[in-house]
Amino acid sequence: MLVEMAGIANAADETIKEKAAECTPCHGEAGISGTENIPSLAGQPDPFLQWQLVFFRSGSRKNEVMQPMAEQLNNEDVRNLGAYFASLTPPKASSPDDNPDLSKKGAEAAAGRRCASCHGDTFAGAKAVARLAGQREEYLVKALHDYKSSLRVGGGVAAMADVAYPLSEEEITALAHYLAHL
């Protein structure tokens, strides 16, 4: 019986790896994006990933590529993809910080906006809250603009809208730079 259960688990692992392979062209090998304005998925909290897939699937989060892909996923696929990408090693800052003054301004903005109260002291995220540390810089800028303009919705949309709306362009740039280099 244990051998049979192990075979079922291996088959499930292969199935999820096949589904996750469909994400690779955009989100990168091992869930680390090399594509502008496409987020890395590796190391994101499992519930966060699941919610994003559900938001895309329902159409409450808009994206012309993600919506049709998410519509094909059943609830088990959503759970399995969330767990799979959450288990991968998160991205590291790709290069040394080339603008420590900008990072300092970003750290001040993060403290002033109390970003760590939801995203954690290391900005690794938790539960349904995104990991920000090491994320692509231009994607973070885009996400903050989307929250600021109410283009992006989600579980924390009210909190993120409240945080992002008053941000200046300089603060958005500084926050994104700081978080991407953590």
What tokens appear for 134 in the block?
Answer: 């090491």
Q: Which amino acid is at 95?
A: S
Which residues on neighbouring strands pair with residue 126, listed in sequence order? 129
Instruction: Label each residue of 111-140 as H, E or C.
Output: HHCCCHHHHCCCCCCECCECCCCCCCHHHH
pTM, two decimal places: 0.89
Q: CA angle, 53 as apex, 22 and 58 as ends, to 5°?
A: 120
Tell me the pLDDT tens digit for each residue of 105-158.
Answer: 999 999 999 999 999 999 999 999 999 999 999 999 999 999 999 888 656 557
Q: 22-66, pLDDT tens digit by residue? A: 999 999 999 999 999 999 999 999 999 999 999 999 998 889 999
Helix segments in 40-97, DSSP class H: 46-58, 66-71, 75-87
